[in-house]
């Protein structure tokens, strides 16, 4: 991946395109850009270099890259990466677990989450004691769905406790007191 001085990705709200206002590839009267350089053939190195040079200066490069990945936009140069360079990232997106996205969602932002990030939001909401109604609002889901998620967590926690107590049973006790070695008889 190219190294740049661009800042961290701004997490877009769903459907938000306003970040494009800051895109360096926007052609203007004073800053003409040939859009074709962003759709080069793999061997058109001059175009690739020219497009990447613009991306390196772009303040929304990481947001642009996120948008391409989340929208499964595999066409052209996006966020400073060619189609070929993005292939692996596209494949890995489903397993992304970015806690800054989880925290942004808990703070009320409506942003793109992977399945793993949604699970993390649900677990964090449960741990922090958010109501099902609150969780439903954060994830834009029904209250029924939020209640079901909490029920599943409670069930998983109960099962985990039972499993742990099987693996680490409490020490045997007699008459409420811990047994001592002598209690097993002199043969021990
Ligand atoms: S990173 Fe590149 S492709 Fe994306 S908005 Fe910026 S200049 Fe355009």
For residue 184, what are the contacts with CB-CB under 8 A and spacing of at least 6? Answer: none
Q: What six digits make up the tokens of 69?
A: 């990945």
Tell me what pLDDT residue 180 has: 53
Decide: 52 in ligand 1 pocket, CB within 6 A: no
How far, in Å, is the centroid of ligand 1 from the Cα of 164?
A: 51
Pocket test of ligand 1: the residue of 80, 82, 83 to mutate, having most ligand atoms within 8 Å of its CB, is 80
Decide: 50 in ligand 1 pocket, CB within 6 A: no
Residue-wise pLDDT tens for the chain (188 aa)? Answer: 344 445 566 788 888 889 999 999 999 999 999 999 999 998 999 999 999 999 999 999 999 999 999 888 989 999 999 999 999 999 899 899 999 999 999 999 999 999 999 999 999 999 999 999 999 999 999 999 999 999 999 999 999 888 888 877 766 655 555 545 454 444 43
Decide: 79 in ligand 1 pocket, CB within 6 A: yes
Rounded to whole angstroms, the Cα distance separating 97 from 86 reads: 18
DSSP letter for each residue of the chain: -------PPP-PBTT--GGGGG-TT---SSS---GGGGS--TT-HHHHHHHHHHHHT-TTHHHHHHHHHHTT--SS-BTTB-HHHHHHHHHHGGG---HHHHHHHHTT--B---HHHHHHHHHHHHHTT--HHHHHHHHT--HHHHHHHHHHHHHHHHHHHHHHHHHSPPPPEETTEEPPGGGG-TT-
Decide: 40 in ligand 1 pocket, CB within 6 A: no
Pocket test of ligand 1: the residue of 4, 35, 55, 57 to mutate, having most ligand atoms within 8 Å of its CB, is 55
Q: Atom 8, ligand 1: which residue's CA is nearest?
A: 25
Kindly list the distances between the CA atom of residue 179 and the CA atoms of 119, 157, 171, 182, in Å, as whole numbers in the listed order: 44, 31, 8, 8
Tens digits of per-residue pLDDT, 30-73? 999 999 999 999 899 999 999 999 999 999 999 999 999 988 89
Q: Atom 3, ligand 1: which residue's CA is nearest?
A: 78
């Amino acid at each position: 991946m190219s190294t740049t001085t661009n800042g961290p990705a701004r997490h877009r709200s769903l459907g938000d395109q306003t970040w494009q206002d800051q895109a360096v590839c926007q052609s203007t009267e004073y800053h003409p850009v040939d859009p074709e350089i962003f759709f080069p053939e793999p061997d058109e190195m001059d175009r690739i270099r020219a497009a990447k040079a613009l991306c390196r200066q772009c303040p929304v490069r990481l947001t642009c890259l996120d948008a391409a990945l989340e929208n499964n936009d595999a066409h052209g140069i996006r966020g400073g990466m060619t189609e070929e360079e993005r292939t692996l990232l596209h494949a890995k997106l489903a397993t992304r677990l970015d806690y800054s996205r989880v925290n942004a969602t808990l703070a009320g932002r409506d942003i793109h989450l992977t399945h793993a990030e949604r699970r993390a939001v649900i677990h964090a909401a449960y741990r922090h004691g958010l109501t099902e109604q609150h969780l439903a609002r954060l994830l834009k889901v029904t209250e029924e769905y939020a209640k079901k998620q909490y029920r599943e967590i409670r069930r998983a926690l109960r099962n985990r406790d039972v499993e742990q107590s099987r693996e680490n049973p409490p020490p045997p006790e007699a008459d409420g007191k811990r047994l001592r070695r002598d209690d097993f008889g002199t043969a021990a």
